[in-house]
């Protein structure tokens, strides 16, 4: 499926192509996915989830500078992953993107990027949880726009510094 989406927009991919490449029957495919776009979204979320490491334990005792360094390193890694497979991700965003996809993306960023700043609060209230999701949504949007710029975009390192600056500032760590 991933290779097919790398080669063409999701809307151009036929179910017969997907089941042939996957080596499954149509009924098996439909047991797991409603259609080709939903399979593409699931593949994108899985790929990104695999590329975005979970936050290490014990981070709540780290200094702001240690958190900044760790987050920048992780963010550069994820941005490079996105850039390396840019055609795949842009094809999914452009022709299979829906609320479920973006909810999944924001969820990944929220849990794997935003936790350090917000983790210091033992019982975040509703406003703090909303702020975390709002920031994760904004960072997701910045990352997608960065990816769309292609060669005109800043480096992964520069974008990571920008993202982490906002994450720490709004997460009350800067």
| Residue of 105, 112, 115 lying closest to 137 (CA atoms) | 105
State residue 9 phi and psi, 5-degree precision. Answer: -60, 150
Domains of the chain in sequence order:
2-170 (1.10.357.10)
CA distance linking residue 144 with residue 158, whole number of Å: 15
CA distance linking residue 174 with residue 170, whole number of Å: 8
Give me the tens of pLDDT residue by residue for the chain, a chain 174 residues long.
899 999 999 999 999 999 999 999 999 999 999 999 999 999 999 999 999 877 766 666 778 888 889 889 989 999 999 999 999 999 999 999 999 999 999 999 888 776 554 455 556 678 877 888 888 899 999 999 999 998 888 999 999 999 999 888 876 554
Q: How far is CA 162 from CA 23, 73, 132, 154, 156, in A?
A: 43, 13, 17, 10, 10
Q: Which 3 state secondary structure label does DSSP give 172?
A: coil
Considering the entire predicted model, what is its pTM? 0.87
End-to-end CA distance of the chain: 42
């Amino acid at each position: 499926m991933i290779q097919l989406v790398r080669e063409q927009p999701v809307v151009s991919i036929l179910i017969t192509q997907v089941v042939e490449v996957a080596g499954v029957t149509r009924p098996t495919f439909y047991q797991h996915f409603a259609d080709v776009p939903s399979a593409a979204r699931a593949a994108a979320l899985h790929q990104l989830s695999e590329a975005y490491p979970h936050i290490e334990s014990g981070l709540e005792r780290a200094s702001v500078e240690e958190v900044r360094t760790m987050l920048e390193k992780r963010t550069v890694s994820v941005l490079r992953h996105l850039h390396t497979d840019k055609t795949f991700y842009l094809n999914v965003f452009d022709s299979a993107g829906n609320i479920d996809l973006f909810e999944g993306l924001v969820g990944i960023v929220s849990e794997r990027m935003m936790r350090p700043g917000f983790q210091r609060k033992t019982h975040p209230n509703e406003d703090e949880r909303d702020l975390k999701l709002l920031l994760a949504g904004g960072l997701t949007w910045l990352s997608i726009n960065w990816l769309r710029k292609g060669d005109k975009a800043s480096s992964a390192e520069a974008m990571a510094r920008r993202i982490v600056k906002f994450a720490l500032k709004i997460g009350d760590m800067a």
